[in-house]
Structure 1
Amino acid sequence: MVSRPKQPPDPWPALTGLDPRTVAQAMRAAYREEEYLPWNKLRHKTPPEGLTVEQWWAVTKMSRLAQARDLPLVDQEGRPFNYVLSDALLRGLDDVTARASGRVEMPELVVNERTRDRYLVSSLMEEAITSSQLEGAVTTQRVAKEMLRTGRSPRSVSERMIANNYVAMQFIREHVDDDITPSMVSRVHAILTEGTLDDPEAAGRLQLPGEVRVGVWSVSSDEPLHEPPPAEQLPTRLAALCDFANGRTGTGWLHPILRAIVTHFMVGYDHYFVDGNGRTARALFYWVALKHGYWLLEFVAISRILRDAPAQYARAYLNTEQDDGDVTYFALHHVAVIRRAIDELHQYLARKGRDLRVAREAVGGLGINHRQASIVEGVLRGSATRFTAASHGASHDVVLATARADLRQLEDLGLLSSRREGRQQVWEPVAGFDQRLSELSKSHTLTVD
């Protein structure tokens, strides 16, 4: 449940009559603040000795303003958004750079070209599913992944949202080195919303003057949480955002991840489209980050973490808007999400590495390829019970002929059996799969290209 945070008080009256030495001492302490608290949280804390809560806020605000840097992007009143490179933000950005770009040390599963596509496809699917669920898509992970892997047509609007998101993520991968332009943003939105809008003509089109603007409302109190800029401003604002995303505006250097985060923020703030703004914002975050060489983020699904804590995501927006456009709140939240997602990626890859080692031991001597080994691994873990050429091909990014050959070879080995479902051939593990695998590993050697 999200409600509008309490409005910060005007800081300047609270400074009247304060000893300058007290102010200077408090400002030095604020400069080193570990927590970048909004007024709504700071007012519940015990202030430094000799200060009221209001005075503490005023001194903290002064310290932040002294450090703040303006962005070449403005709110709807024409005031520039700004940010502070606090210690916490600098630490977070440095950690993301160290772990997500350049020649970072990663498990063989990601660096090995034979296996990386499988994990990349899985990550793209995860991001497509959870980004859509953040905006209301209702379906299970299992059903959604089955749809994406088999390539079957979506059966509901929720499934269509997920399928569209998957296509959009692939589109960004293919165009990562292209400029981000208003027409490309509209194209991404059109892909994301195809077949999901009440008005199909609204896909890829900015909201028009005269249309009811799409805002953000509180579910609990029915109060407006955010009213976006007028539709008349949208073309100019989107052009400015694209220039910013491509690094063509602003003075001084801006950290690439911070640029990607601010791009994400602005799409949510401006609300260019009638629906799908959140999905578009998250897709553009990936585009900007990948464009700047943060290749590991292809394997990270940030939307799953945002989905699990939607109120924190919303408050990061609201705190920025209520505190004079200070994007630091949103940046700190987003960096924490990225770091957690990278942590979980490493944990996931460690588990998968252990699973793969078990599978390799079980199939040692058979000579089957890594795609077939992944099927064996899935069956042994109990997570895979049904395969088609389409689902196997989608999981490993190979053509149908290659996928079908993989499955038929496993059938020839007596590990899978097949049957027809309409026009489709389906493979399933044989009864006594473990015993058959044990027999094969002792007595057979098969060479497969």
Structure 2
Amino acid sequence: MAKVHKPVDFNVLLNQYGMEVFDLARVFKAVDDKGRYLHWDEFRRYPSQGVAKEAAWAAIKLARACGSKSLELRSECGSPFFLYTTDFCDAVIHAIEQLTSRLGGAAASSAHYRDNAKYLVDALMMEEAISSAQLEGASTTRKIAKDMLAKERAPLNDDERMILNNYQLMKHAKFNKDESLSIALICEFQSIATAGVDEEDARPGHIREDDGIFVGGPGDEVVHQPPHASLLPARLEALCQFANERHDGQEGRPFIHPVIKAIILHFMMGYEHPFRDGNGRTARCLFYWFMLKSGYWPFEYISISALLKEAPMQYGRSYIYTQTDAFDLTYFVIYQLRVVERAMSAFMRHFESKRLEALELMTWVQALQLSDGLNYRQGHFLKKVLQHPGRIFTPKELTHDYDISENTARNDLEKWVSMKVLLKVQEGKAFLYIAREDAEAHLKKIAGAR
């Protein structure tokens, strides 16, 4: 990553250029004519004939100051973080609202539609766990990783352990979505993210007590020195208070859209860097936790890590832009919203393809003419059985794939045994269920006997 050019302080420029700044403010706005919220590092490269670059930059900063809001959160030096919401931000937030509404919204979280949607996209939670680990350096292939998660087998190495940890981390975020944020919960998230991984001085669940940590760039460049360890308890407490406060615009309270707030929590965890290891995974977990807490349930399945992994330099640059321009969080928020926008598009393409598969599946199930009607879950499992004769199934696998109790899974399996679709065999104290070679023939007999 090339070195970022830090802008000159606004007050210095104002003293230097005076009224010229106010004159230029008629032309230079918070965003350019293409809607871009440029950092000085970018703006300085664009031509502006007959105009002093730094004076034009001061005009842009003036426009942003008029439309931005300061947050309760502060940098280590005491300067407040602030935010300017652009039209692009509003557009992506609107798209998120539409997506949630289209898929049933929070009100449909226990409805039949939500259940079917969940079966369609459940594998995407695996995708986030795998991508998040690969972003941190894990190199296990997706096929091996998915097999490990689906069969719940023990990880064989640190890379697989990191993926399993991330999967459990996502589930823990969902489980705790109704809880208030606390330092203890943040430590729980980090502890799950780093459990059992052989990282020197990782200390799962423990806030760092020293300052020998930094975020590095190319070569030996230090791009971020996190706050002193002695300040972390108070700073994390302030972060929790920010997360738990209502920013609803009522009774004099400021308004911060929940999506923006989730992104701010992501940024701040990276900024504070309170742990020796696992800060990035914990930061992404906080984003998902707050999105689920705020009712955006599709984000249980929308993977941002896969896209962050594609452009880690841009991810890091968005942090640097914020820190080098008077702690303007807008740069990071816009970058993250771009990632979210692309992630939603990928999600909907996947969802639509799975929805079409589901329609074909239910048509196929109806064509079987079984006396007992099948729900989507049972139809999906039956097709898997018929496509893989000789494969072994267990109740635990079904509980994982369909988010059902082990008792429900066992009842489903026993149903297929009675219909001679599965063969039940005992191995020690456990029972295994094997897909029969003649399963389809038995189903045809049942349908013909109606």
> TM range, normalised to the smaller chain?
0.7 to 0.9
Identity %: 32
Name the amino acid aligned to 2:291: A
Q: Structure 2 CA distance, aligned partners of 1:196 and 1:65?
A: 45
Report how far residue 309 of structure 1 moved.
2.1
For 1:155, what is the secondary structure of its paired residue? coil
Give the aligned partner of residue 141 of structure 1.
142
Report how far residue 374 of structure 1 moved.
1.4
**Residues 396 and 35 of structure 1: CA distance in aligned 2, closer, same or farther (over 3 Å):** same
Superposition map of 1:279-294 within 5 A: 279-294=281-296
Gaps of 5+ in 1: none
Matched, 1:372 2:374: no
1:295 aligned to which of 297, 322, 332 = 297
Q: Structure 1 CA distance, aligned partners of 2:426 and 2:281?
A: 38
Give the aligned partner of residue 225 of structure 1.
223
Report how far residue 182 of structure 1 moved.
0.8
Superposition map of 1:301-340 within 5 A: 301-340=303-342
Which stretch shifts more, 234-243 or 317-326?
A: 317-326
Q: How many residues align?
A: 437
Give the aligned partner of residue 155 of structure 1.
156
Give the aligned partner of residue 354 of structure 2.
352
Give the aligned partner of residue 82 of structure 2.
82
Are the counterparts in 1 of residues 25 and 62 from structure 2 also a CA contact under 8 Å? no
Report how far residue 391 of structure 1 moved.
2.0
Name the amino acid aligned to 1:258: I
TM superposition score normalised by structure 1: 0.85
Q: For residues 156-190 of structure 1, what are the alpha-carbon distances to aligned partners after superposition, in whole Å with 9 as ceiling and x for unaligned?
A: 11222222222222222222111111111112211
Are the counterparts in 2 of residues 228 and 270 from structure 1 also a CA contact under 8 Å? yes
Give the aligned partner of residue 405 of structure 2.
399
Are the counterparts in 1 of residues 206 and 275 from structure 2 also a CA contact under 8 Å? yes
Report how far residue 58 of structure 1 moved.
2.3
Are the counterparts in 2 of residues 119 and 299 from structure 1 also a CA contact under 8 Å? no
TM superposition score normalised by structure 2: 0.85
Report how far residue 126 of structure 1 moved.
2.2
Report how far residue 124 of structure 1 moved.
2.6
Which of 1 and 2 has higher RCO (CA within 8 Å, sep 6+)? 1
Q: For residues 263-309 of structure 1, what are the alpha-carbon distances to aligned partners after superposition, in whole Å with 9 as ceiling and x for unaligned?
A: 11000001000000011111111122222222222222222221222
Report how far residue 248 of structure 1 moved.
5.7
**Residues 137 and 241 of structure 1: CA distance in aligned 2, closer, same or farther (over 3 Å):** same
Which stretch shifts more, 241-250 or 130-139?
A: 241-250
Give the aligned partner of residue 263 of structure 1.
265
Are the counterparts in 2 of residues 213 and 231 from structure 1 also a CA contact under 8 Å? no
Give the aligned partner of residue 97 of structure 1.
97
Question: How large is the Cα RMSD of the aligned pairs?
Answer: 3.4
Superposition map of 1:381-392 within 5 A: 387-392=393-398
For 1:202, what is the secondary structure of its paired residue? coil
Which stretch shifts more, 258-267 or 168-177?
A: 168-177
Are the counterparts in 2 of residues 71 and 81 from structure 1 also a CA contact under 8 Å? yes
Q: Structure 2 CA distance, aligned partners of 1:82 and 1:164?
A: 34
Report how far residue 420 of structure 1 moved.
8.3
Which stretch shifts more, 23-32 or 118-127?
A: 23-32
Q: For residues 35-66 of structure 1, what are the alpha-carbon distances to aligned partners after superposition, in whole Å with 9 as ceiling and x for unaligned?
A: 0111222222222x431333332221221122
Name the amino acid aligned to 1:307: K
Name the amino acid aligned to 1:223: E
For 2:27, what is the secondary structure of its paired residue? helix
Report how far residue 243 of structure 1 moved.
0.3
Q: Structure 1 CA distance, aligned partners of 2:239 and 2:299?
A: 22
Name the amino acid aligned to 2:139: V
Q: Structure 2 CA distance, aligned partners of 1:229 and 1:394?
A: 41
Which stretch shifts more, 61-70 or 49-58?
A: 49-58
**Residues 64 and 161 of structure 1: CA distance in aligned 2, closer, same or farther (over 3 Å):** same
**Residues 145 and 358 of structure 1: CA distance in aligned 2, closer, same or farther (over 3 Å):** same
Q: Structure 2 CA distance, aligned partners of 1:413 and 1:212?
A: 65
Which stretch shifts more, 351-360 or 263-272?
A: 351-360
Q: Structure 2 CA distance, aligned partners of 1:109 and 1:227?
A: 45
